[in-house]
Chains A and B, each alone.
Chain A
Amino acid sequence: MTARTRRIALTVNGEAVSREVPVRQNLVDFLRHDLGFTGSHVGCEQGACGACTIVLDNETVRGCLVLAVQADGCEIRTIEGSDDLLSDLRRSFHALNALQCGFCTPGMLLSAQELLQANPAPSRQDIRDYLSGNFCRCTGYQAIVDAVAEVAARRPGGITS
């Protein structure tokens, strides 16, 4: 079975990219193995764990559920291209030990950022519910919730609890 390929052109972390890709390749594999953006992880390839979370045209998606060819013409942002946006979340995650092995962390950060954009003053349960698509096996989730809540309180328009 020769894998069929197609050429795609897209923007990844602000850079224009054009590549010939197998039509069956998913987006996260393309980002990781063809472009070297290994910050997005693969935990299930079943759309369930959230480790492969990336931002596609300003919305988080599961990189394992999108084919690379579907991203033709799209704008992609991965954890590697999110430095400015996430610096306060990163600081809180670090200070509060909201990660252990770090495998879930890039996905967690991108989901948390999306939540805070949509809802600058989330309750703890809001945070828990929003992050419920991101599996973490190491932490008790609590430090993650604490970190996101702390950032929410600090950002302009956020809650101060």
Chain B
Amino acid sequence: MSIGASVPRDRAKRLLLGRGNYVDDISLPRMLHLALVRSPYAHAHVGAIETREALALPGVIAVFTAEDLEGAVSSWRAEHKLFPAMAAPEQFALARDVVRWQGEAVAAVLANSRAEAEDGAERVSVDWDELPAITDANQALAPNAPVLHDDMSSNLAFETQVTAGDVNAAFADADHVVEEHFRFHRHSGISLEPRGIIAAFEPSESRLTVHQSHQTPHQQQDLYARLLGLPEHKVRVICPDVGGAFGLKHHLMADELVACAAARLLGRPVKYIADRLESFLADVHCRDHEVEARMAFSDTGEILGIQVDDLFNAGAYGQYPRSSIAEGNQISRLTGAPYRHQHYRADVRMAFLNKSILGHIRSVGHPIACAVAERLVDLGAETLGLDPIEIRRRNYLDGDDFPRTSSGGVEFEQLSFNGCLDRALEIVDMTQFRQEQTELRAQGIYRGIGVATFVELTAIGPEYYGEGGQHISAQETCLLRLEASGTVRCYTGATDQGQGIDTGIQQVVADALGVALADIEVISGDSALCPVGGGSWGSRGAALGGEAALRAATTLKRNILNIAASLLQKDPSDLSIDQGVVVDGRSGAAHMAVSEIARIGHFQPYSIPEGINADLTVTERYASRGRLFLAGNGLQIAIVDVDVDSGMVTPLRHVVVHDCGRILNPLLVQEQVRGGVVQGIGAALYEELRYDEDGHLLTGSFADYLVPMAGEMPDIEVAHIETPTKTSELGAKGAGEAGTAGAVGAILNAVNDAIRPFDATIAETPITPPRLLRALGRI
């Protein structure tokens, strides 16, 4: 069996040699470089744009403004038909008349080198007329706030509510109610490789070929075709090696669209690579939520009801093509999801304001939903004098509760909260920790422990975007081709940015087909070669891509055995394939090599009777049905030290117990979960895109925007429980959200546990030293 084995990745060998092929490593003949003229203001009228001086510089070939792109590229609106009331203002590749966030581009400079393009961008002068900026959602929704978009009457982009039971009655009857006001600041995906693209246009064929650092080649193919007015089969999007993505790279970005339009207008290839400042400014961002939440308890610690009020912002526009509502939506569906409560209400409001657009970054909404509920559970435990573990035990959904539609409206097949907790308590000795904690406190060392239980929504079903009207595939397709030598090429619509789904799919095919791993190559990330699929996002590769591969391998095996059976004069059901050899299904005795069948199938097809299915190139697809998500679950425990004089938090130990169904490759899942945890710790303690009151970004470098480095990260112990989903044959669920989903909540609870002796609490992330010292009343 290959599935379940810790198989290292083939592709990694090349990357280790420095032989990666990232977009910026590619160079095409006569390629131009794009630099963008970006707004220095968060909100301003754009007056005359003077380009003559730039055009006079050596190496500068062209300068485009919005006017020049008119007719070359269409505008768009981030609509979602499931949310018809959501405002979706018109967006342009280059802003016209008004800029609404600092960094929004108004002009494009094309030159022979990036340095010359930047020289040109500096020489473009723009008549800016600064307008008042809105940087906070409360401010945006205040009655007299200036309205950002002409066709709207307020800055409220959307509001929605999710309810179950009677939450008012539950709170009225409760013995205890705890509440908290949370603030989760803005951050982003911060892939180490910034966004990048090379667009090349062949005018004689109307053909656009794009190399892009991206997660979703088919989505981009569709978008570029539609927005540039090209036939879709003339657009090819290739995603070569991608240097990290985390959701950041599955959106349409205006900058990259400008590169495509410029390539078309000039008939020369155009490269655009975001620099780090541009990445901070103009990438899509995430979080930036303010949450008011309360939880009602009975005297015995039973959670009776949960109420959540989430106010967030989409930035200046909606994110295209998916819209920006998902983060609020996930919070409204997921808060308190592990628990048995019956009464629930979540209100979500999304505002527009003058910051970069909010998109879908890893673990969309999960970390907030988890942190809010888990903090309230700890507060409840404190109020009731119960142990945080005990109160969770009393409320976890368990055994007979499943299958269940959660109070937030998500379907749960079978989750393993108690199982995960049991396993975690084998790893962390709570009694010993509490003893140690008491002893350390006596020495002035403040150590805390935090538990966070989470639900992980993965492998989204096709209804969400299908009904939403977006051209986004939530289906996955696999094409297998038995080569004449008997080796196998596997083309998948799933894509790999280092997670290792190529290897996972290779393992699935190896097992289902009965051939060696080394005889299978997986090809992904090319919209012209690979079957239409969704790419990678929302933890879908293993669950959807894996299942499609399983189906395709099963079909190919059937066809191989059909041929073998006819040649051997046997019944196909008596045959099987093992290690590339057709064998007797019962005795295992070898009959003939798969390579022999491949040779006959391709070169001597006359030897195979008509009427049997002997295709050696097969395609199968898989989409989940009747279920919006495939839910997994898990739990994290964080142990931290808080220095109450400096406000510094040191993560000491981190434990994750995770259930993502059947695991294809433990080696890959483990470190992916750890990477997610580190991103979550980053959000909990360091990472923040700070803006001043005028909407100017204050964190434009790694000196100001802190990311977790090896030195301050703890070892992270990861354990797994496997509850395979029965909705597919493979049984895999997604695994990419888990680490990030639970880490913020675990750290937040651990810090609050550490500072308990000071009667202080904190509910704002990142938990920076100044915030913590303020919470402690020390500054």
**Is the Cβ of A103 less than 8 Å from the Cβ of B678?**
no
Q: How far is the CA of A98 from the CA of B670 in the complex (A)?
A: 11
User: A68 contacts the other chain (Cβ, under 8 Å)?
Assistant: no
Which residue of chain B lies nearest to A83 when distances are taken between CB atoms in the complex? B17
B6-27: contact bitstring with A at CB < 8 Å (1 yes, 0 no)? Answer: 0011011101111110101101
Contacts of B739 in A (CB 8 A): 140
Contacts of B245 in A (CB 8 A): 101
B662-683: contact bitstring with A at CB < 8 Å (1 yes, 0 no)? Answer: 0000011011111111110000
Contacts of B119 in A (CB 8 A): 1
**Is the Cβ of B24 less than 8 Å from the Cβ of A99?**
no
Which residue of chain A lies nearest to B708 when distances are taken between CB atoms in the complex? A141
A71-95: contact bitstring with B at CB < 8 Å (1 yes, 0 no)? Answer: 0000000111001000000100111
**Is the Cβ of B677 less than 8 Å from the Cβ of A24?**
no
Also in contact, A22 and B20, with CB within 8 A (given A44-B702, A140-B716): no
User: B97 contacts the other chain (Cβ, under 8 Å)?
Assistant: no
Also in contact, A97 and B702, with CB within 8 A (given A140-B713, A140-B716): no
In A32-89, the 8 Å CB interface with B consists of 32-33, 37-46, 48-49, 51, 78-80, 83
**Is the Cβ of A137 less than 8 Å from the Cβ of B674?**
no
User: A139 contacts the other chain (Cβ, under 8 Å)?
Assistant: yes
Contacts of A24 in B (CB 8 A): 115
B150-164: contact bitstring with A at CB < 8 Å (1 yes, 0 no)? Answer: 000000000000000
User: B419 contacts the other chain (Cβ, under 8 Å)?
Assistant: no
Also in contact, A103 and B674, with CB within 8 A (given A93-B12, A97-B9): no
User: A138 contacts the other chain (Cβ, under 8 Å)?
Assistant: yes
Contacts of B713 in A (CB 8 A): 128, 140-142
Contacts of A33 in B (CB 8 A): 27
**Is the Cβ of B13 less than 8 Å from the Cβ of A94?**
yes
Contacts of B438 in A (CB 8 A): none
User: B190 contacts the other chain (Cβ, under 8 Å)?
Assistant: yes
In A9-28, the 8 Å CB interface with B consists of 22, 24-25
Which residue of chain A lies nearest to B717 when distances are taken between CB atoms in the complex? A142
**Is the Cβ of B18 less than 8 Å from the Cβ of A141?**
no
Contacts of B13 in A (CB 8 A): 90, 94
**Is the Cβ of B668 less than 8 Å from the Cβ of A97?**
yes
Q: How far is the CA of A95 from the CA of B671 in the complex (A)?
A: 12
**Is the Cβ of B192 less than 8 Å from the Cβ of A45?**
no
Partner of B8, one of A32, A83, A97, A128: A97
Q: How far is the CA of A124 from the CA of B715 in the complex (A)?
A: 10
User: B246 contacts the other chain (Cβ, under 8 Å)?
Assistant: yes
Contacts of A40 in B (CB 8 A): 18
**Is the Cβ of A97 less than 8 Å from the Cβ of B16?**
no
Contacts of A98 in B (CB 8 A): 671
**Is the Cβ of A79 less than 8 Å from the Cβ of B18?**
yes
**Is the Cβ of A102 less than 8 Å from the Cβ of B241?**
yes
**Is the Cβ of B244 less than 8 Å from the Cβ of A100?**
yes
A143-158: contact bitstring with B at CB < 8 Å (1 yes, 0 no)? Answer: 1110000000000000
User: A127 contacts the other chain (Cβ, under 8 Å)?
Assistant: yes
Also in contact, A94 and B276, with CB within 8 A (given A32-B25, A100-B672, A101-B243): no
Partner of B675, one of A90, A100, A145: A100
Nearest CB on A from B536, distance (A): 12
Contacts of B701 in A (CB 8 A): 44, 46, 48
Nearest CB on B from A32, distance (A): 7
Which residue of chain A lies nearest to B7 when distances are taken between CB atoms in the complex? A97
B188-209: contact bitstring with A at CB < 8 Å (1 yes, 0 no)? Answer: 0111111000000000000000
Contacts of B672 in A (CB 8 A): 100
**Is the Cβ of B716 less than 8 Å from the Cβ of A49?**
no
Q: How far is the CA of A161 from the CA of B712 in the complex (A)?
A: 23
Q: How far is the CA of A24 from the CA of B114 in the complex (A)?
A: 12
Partner of B498, one of A51, A102, A132: A102
**Is the Cβ of B677 less than 8 Å from the Cβ of A140?**
yes
Also in contact, A25 and B115, with CB within 8 A (given A48-B702, A138-B244): yes
**Is the Cβ of A42 less than 8 Å from the Cβ of B702?**
no
Q: How far is the CA of A46 from the CA of B704 in the complex (A)?
A: 11
User: A121 contacts the other chain (Cβ, under 8 Å)?
Assistant: no
User: B499 contacts the other chain (Cβ, under 8 Å)?
Assistant: yes
Contacts of A141 in B (CB 8 A): 674, 678, 709-710, 713
User: A120 contacts the other chain (Cβ, under 8 Å)?
Assistant: no
Also in contact, A101 and B192, with CB within 8 A (given A41-B243, A46-B701, A48-B703): yes
Q: Which of B22, B189, B670, B711 has the most CB of A within 10 A?
A: B711
Contacts of A42 in B (CB 8 A): 24
Partner of B17, one of A45, A90, A133: A90
Which residue of chain B lies nearest to A129 when distances are taken between CB atoms in the complex? B711
User: A104 contacts the other chain (Cβ, under 8 Å)?
Assistant: yes
In B616-630, the 8 Å CB interface with A consists of none
Nearest CB on B from A31, distance (A): 11
Partner of B710, one of A51, A96, A127: A127
**Is the Cβ of A140 less than 8 Å from the Cβ of B15?**
no
Q: Which of B15, B242, B245 has the most CB of A within 10 A?
A: B15
Q: Which of A1, A32, A134 has the most CB of B within 10 A?
A: A1
Also in contact, A93 and B702, with CB within 8 A (given A33-B27, A42-B24): no
Contacts of A49 in B (CB 8 A): 192, 276, 702
User: B719 contacts the other chain (Cβ, under 8 Å)?
Assistant: no
Contacts of A95 in B (CB 8 A): 8
Which residue of chain A lies nearest to B275 when distances are taken between CB atoms in the complex? A45
Contacts of A96 in B (CB 8 A): 667
Q: How far is the CA of A91 from the CA of B610 in the complex (A)?
A: 50
Also in contact, A128 and B12, with CB within 8 A (given A44-B701, A101-B242, A102-B20): no
Which residue of chain A lies nearest to B714 when distances are taken between CB atoms in the complex? A142
Partner of B243, one of A3, A102, A128: A102
Q: Which of B8, B245, B668 has the most CB of A within 10 A?
A: B8
Also in contact, A39 and B20, with CB within 8 A (given A137-B679, A139-B675): yes
Contacts of A38 in B (CB 8 A): 18, 20, 22, 24-25
Q: How far is the CA of A6 from the CA of B12 in the complex (A)?
A: 38
Partner of A101, one of B27, B244, B702, B709: B244
User: B103 contacts the other chain (Cβ, under 8 Å)?
Assistant: no
A122-136: contact bitstring with B at CB < 8 Å (1 yes, 0 no)? Answer: 001101110111111
Which residue of chain B lies nearest to A22 when distances are taken between CB atoms in the complex? B115
Contacts of B11 in A (CB 8 A): 102
Nearest CB on A from B555, distance (A): 31
Q: How far is the CA of A102 from the CA of B192 in the complex (A)?
A: 10
Nearest CB on A from B532, distance (A): 24
**Is the Cβ of A128 less than 8 Å from the Cβ of B710?**
yes
Nearest CB on B from A61, distance (A): 17
Q: How far is the CA of A124 from the CA of B217 in the complex (A)?
A: 40
User: A113 contacts the other chain (Cβ, under 8 Å)?
Assistant: no
**Is the Cβ of B671 less than 8 Å from the Cβ of A106?**
no
Which residue of chain B lies nearest to A80 when distances are taken between CB atoms in the complex? B18
Q: How far is the CA of A64 from the CA of B123 in the complex (A)?
A: 25
In B230-274, the 8 Å CB interface with A consists of 241-246
User: B174 contacts the other chain (Cβ, under 8 Å)?
Assistant: no
Which residue of chain A lies nearest to B9 when distances are taken between CB atoms in the complex? A97
User: A116 contacts the other chain (Cβ, under 8 Å)?
Assistant: no
In B688-728, the 8 Å CB interface with A consists of 701-703, 707, 709-713, 715-716
Contacts of B57 in A (CB 8 A): 1
**Is the Cβ of B15 less than 8 Å from the Cβ of A99?**
yes
8 pairs, CB–CB < 8 Å, chain A vs chain B: A41-B193, A44-B701, A44-B702, A99-B12, A137-B191, A137-B707, A140-B671, A140-B716
| Interface pairs A-B: 4 shortest CB-CB | A39-B18, A140-B674, A102-B15, A100-B498
B residues near A, CB below 8 A?
8-9, 11-13, 15-20, 22, 24-25, 27, 57-58, 115-116, 119, 189-194, 241-246, 275-276, 497-500, 667-668, 670-679, 701-703, 707, 709-713, 715-716, 739
A residues near B, CB below 8 A?
1-3, 22, 24-25, 32-33, 37-46, 48-49, 51, 78-80, 83, 90, 93-106, 109, 124-125, 127-129, 131-145
Known: A100-B498, A137-B707. 4 other contacts (CB 8 A): A38-B20, A93-B16, A102-B16, A102-B20
